[in-house]
Amino acid sequence: MHALAVVVLAAGKGTRMKSRRPKLLFDLAGRPLGAWPVAAALALRPRAVVVVVGHGRELLVPALRARFPRAPLRFAVQREQLGTGHALRCGLAALPRGVRRVLALCGDAPLVRPEPLRALLARTGERPLGLLTSVVAHPAMYGRIVRDARGRVVRIVEHRDATLAERRLREVNPAVYLFDLAFLRRSLRRLRRANAQRELYLTDVVALAARAPGGVADLPVPFDDLRGVNNRGELAEAEDAMLDRIRCRWMAGGVTIRQPQTVRIEAGVRLGPDVEIGPGAQLLGGTVVGRGAAVGAGCILRDTRVGPRAVLSPYVLATGARI
């Protein structure tokens, strides 16, 4: 998809994490939080992935470069926090030549998968804008999707600017957009800070697209695949969901996991066929377990290689070992 570029918005301060550490460097299942959406973007094979950074960029940029050393990563700096529209405008300045479409997503949404992104590319076609939507029981502070009588998306209203009737809407904006680049450039120039936050809202582009030829393409997806992380409670929930994905993938591939909800297997771990893992085990970092090996209950292995058919008794602790 050489006409595609992805912009990952990652300049926020993350104040609700209550930490000096940049939010996107918090660990989630063995990878930095911000590495997950970047990996999903790279799976689309775009011409470039531009990460818009701000707070903590002196730590975030080298961490992402080290994680993806051969990837077409670029970085743009948002020096002032003037809203998502302003952040994307900063990102556009780093695009390479030849880009026709821009996919924008948030850097704090680690559960996003490549599959709905590919589906959005197909659904949008030549329209000026496509976006993902989700229906949730409790919309909280998310922007609401507003449709007309024919069911077409006509705008997004942010929670702080919504009327009581609009706040009762349950279809929300998970902040994944696909833009025609020429349309996006024109639209960003038209944004104004006439809202409760006094910011340039990227969501205001939706109303402009709804009035343009072709209108807005929308694709509903489960909210659990797109939810963001704003505090440590949400980080824990997102990590639980990611660890469950990892366990399910290994079990589907021929690994036995006893009491799987008690077992932690991080993203960088590799397991051979017919491996068996006991309750409460933790496989961390770059641990490799060979074919037919058994890892006993409560073992904690970090960056450790376990040979084929090896049997580990319960509660083995190992770091950087060969067994």
Q: 209 and 265 share a domain?
A: no
Catalytic machinery residues: 16
> Residues 181-187: what's their mean pLDDT?
98
Q: Are residues 91 and 141 in the same domain?
A: yes
For residue 10, being part of any structural domain is answered with: yes
Structural domains of the chain, count = 2
Exposure string over 20-59, b if 16+ CB within 10 A, otherwise e:
eebbbbbebbbbbbbbbbbbbbbebebbbbbbbbbbbbeb
Nearest residue to 239 (alpha-carbon basis) of 270, 269, 268, 264: 264
**Token output for 28:** 């989630």
The answer to whether 135 touches 223, Cβ cutoff 8 Å, is yes
Query: Cα dihedral sign for 237, 17, 134, 31?
Result: negative
Tokens of 104: 């924008």
What percent of the chain clears pLDDT 90, i.e. is strictly above it? 93
- Owning domain of residue 78: 4-225
Q: Check pLDDT > 80 for residue 2.
A: no
What confidence tens digit (pLDDT) does each residue in 133-157 have?
A: 999 999 988 999 999 999 999 999 9
184 and 301: one domain? no
Q: Based on the domain organization, do 74 and 152 belong to the same domain?
A: yes
The pLDDT of residue 280:
99
CATH number of the domain that 126 lies in? 3.90.550.10
Distance CA 268, CA 250 (A): 12
* Model confidence band, residue 94 (pLDDT cutoffs 50, 70, 90): very high
Closest CA to 250 of 262, 265, 261, 268: 265
Do residues 28 and 157 both lie within one domain? yes
pLDDT level of residue 33 (50, 70, 90 thresholds): very high
Whether 28 is covered by a domain: the verdict is yes
Q: Residue 248 falls within a domain, yes or no?
A: no
**Band (196; pLDDT cuts 50, 70, 90):** confident
End-to-end alpha-carbon separation of the chain, Å?
A: 44
Of 118, 86, 117, 123, whose CA–CA distance to 215 is shortest? 123
pLDDT in tens, 280-289: 999 999 999 9
- The phi, psi pair for 232, rounded to 5°, reads -70, -30
**Residues 154-178, mean pLDDT to the nearest whole number:** 95
Is 44 strand, coil or helix? coil
**Which residues, 6 or more positions from 249, have their beta carbon under 8 angstroms from its beta carbon?**
none
Written as six digits, the tokens of 83 are 């809203």
